Amino acid sequence: MTSRRYTLVRCMGLLVLIPGCATTPGDVRLHADGMPMSEKCPEKALEVMRYLRLYVGESAWVQLDANQSRAEHITLHEGPIESVLDQDIGTLEAPLRLYGRVWTGGEQPVIRYYAAQFLSGGDRVPICAVARLGFGQLRKRPESKPGTAILDSPRAGVYIVDEFR
C-alpha cells in the first residue's frame, strides 16, 4: 500500500469513529412521482470531504452497477446501489466502491452516493456525490418497467456535491 493510501486509510478510519458519521440513505421525502426531494449533505460527510480534498464539482467516471460492469445495456433497480469508481477523484484512488441509492420514478434515474470504500477493505467513509450524464444520456429506455431503469450505458460521471438537488 502506498504511503499516501496508508495515511488516508488511517485518517478515514479515525473519522468513521466519530459519532454521527453514518448517514441513512433513502431517508428522503419524495415527490408524488416517487423521485427524491432536495437533501442536505450531512455535516460529517462535508467534514470528511474537506479533509479528503473532495471539492464540489469534481468528477470522474464510474461503473454504475458493480454487478453489471462493462455490459452494453444495464438495468438499475429502485433501492441500494454499489458502483465502482474508474478514475481517481480528489485524494480517492480508483478503483473503489461507491454506495448509494437509486430512484427510478422519473424519465431518468436519480443516483445519490452516500459512502465510499476501498476495494482492499477498510471502513466506509461518508461522502455526497451524484451520477450524471449530459444530453439526456442517462434517460431510461421506453421498455423500463416500474421500479427499474434500463440504460444504454453502464457508465456515468460521478460528481461531488454539497447538497442533493
What does the pLDDT read at residue 35?
87
What are the pLDDT tens digits along the chain (165 aa)? 454 454 444 444 444 433 333 345 457 888 888 889 899 999 999 999 999 999 999 999 999 999 997 788 899 999 999 999 999 998 899 999 999 999 999 899 999 999 999 888 888 999 999 999 887 788 999 999 999 999 998 999 999 999 998
User: Cα–Cα–Cα angle for 37, 99, 92, nearest 5°?
Assistant: 115
Q: Which three cell numbers stand for residue 13?
A: 478510519
The CA distance from 145 to 35, in Å, is: 15
The size of the chain, in residues, is: 165
Render pLDDT for 37-59 as a digit per residue (tens, 0 to 9). 899 999 999 999 999 999 999 99
CATH code reported for the domain at 3-164: 2.40.128.260
CA 156 to CA 138: how far, in whole Å? 8
Closest CA to 126 of 162, 165, 78: 162
- Sequence-distant (6+) residues with CB within 8 A of 115 are 23, 25, 98, 99, 100, 124, 125, 126, 127
Integer Rg of the chain from CA:
16
Which phi and psi (to 5°) does residue 26 adopt? Answer: 95, -10
Of 81, 51, 73, 65, which Cα lies nearest the Cα of 150? 73
Three-state secondary-structure class, residue 44 = helix
> Would you list the domain boundaries of the chain?
3-164
